[in-house]
Amino acid sequence: MATPNIRVFPDLAALTAAAKQFVLEQATGAIAQGGQFTLALAGGNTPKPLYESLVSADTPWSQWHIFWGDERYVPLDHPDSNAGMAFQAWLNHVPIPKNQIHPMPTADADPQTAADRYEQTLRQTFGIREGEFPRFDLILLGMGPDGHTASLFPHTAALTVGDRLITVGNKDGQARLTFTVPLINHARQILFLVTGANKQTALRHIFGGTGDPHLYPARLITGNALWFLDQAAAEGVVQNA
Ligand SMILES: O=C(O)[C@H](O)[C@@H](O)[C@H](O)[C@H](O)COP(=O)(O)O
């Protein structure tokens, strides 16, 4: 792996403040350049304080377009819903036009149908044809202790899907929807938000380029990535952390 671009913060609060500033800077640049900001959200726990902090941001919300990089296959009002969390923490409290917020569909009996549906949403929104990949201005990602990111879990079929934008992920038999590796790698900017000592082992393999990439799927993310780590995650992994 090329030398990763890493910033270490003393705690979640400091990481969140820096992430808020970074997201708003990316939004300002994208809006200045192209009149819109296309952002894909991460799920899990780490980004929730970031989403809560964005409620107070002073930014042209009417030019933001929100997507999700992955979703558990549950209804929006289910406690596990990534979209449900982001709506409660942030999106219900800011004036982004509702037709510019695109939760992943989870009502189809067959998750593959839902994946295809979301893929069409991306193609229509970005105005791209089959075989083309949209270039998100920013994709937020977390990482699990097993090195998964989005819903790209170790040794699952989703890791090898190279000709689609969206595919069906699998966590212990539970269906997920997820961005594919090539879609993520096409982003202008990727920002990983990783906290907790239980991430050290995976980070060591990912930054060290060791072990089977399919055992640590975040290694497959070779695009323009910046890593925000808290001290607990960076301990013993990053020099002088
Ligand atoms: O749907 C999800 O669960 C997330 O998208 C997942 O990829 C998450 O980012 C990691 O599991 C890290 O989660 P934490 O931030 O809670 O450690």
Dihedrals φ, ψ of 30, to 5°? -65, -40
Q: Read off the pTM.
A: 0.98
Report the pLDDT averaged over residues 68-73.
98
What is this model's ipTM? Answer: 0.97
pLDDT at residue 33, as a whole number: 98
For a substitution probing ligand 1, which of 12, 15, 45, 78 has the most ligand atoms within 8 Å of its CB? 45
Q: Look at residues 202, 184, 197, 204 and name the one whose alpha carbon lies nearest to residue 230.
A: 197
230 lines ligand 1 (CB under 6 A): no
Report the pLDDT averaged over residues 136-147.
98
Taken in order of first residue, the domains within the chain and their CATH numbers are 5-234 (3.40.50.1360)
Q: What is the mean pLDDT of the chain?
A: 97
For a substitution probing ligand 1, which of 67, 106, 151 has the most ligand atoms within 8 Å of its CB? 151
180 Cβ neighbours under 8 A, 6+ residues apart:
158, 161, 162, 164, 165, 166, 167
Asked if the model's pLDDT at residue 4 lies above 90, the reply is no
Q: Look at residues 117, 116, 219 and name the one whose alpha carbon lies nearest to residue 164.
A: 116
Percent share of the chain, pLDDT over 90 = 95
Distance 46 CA to ligand 1 centre (A): 7
Q: Look at residues 121, 123, 57 and name the one whose alpha carbon lies nearest to residue 90.
A: 57
Distance 150 CA to ligand 1 centre (A): 7
Distance 33 CA to ligand 1 centre (A): 31
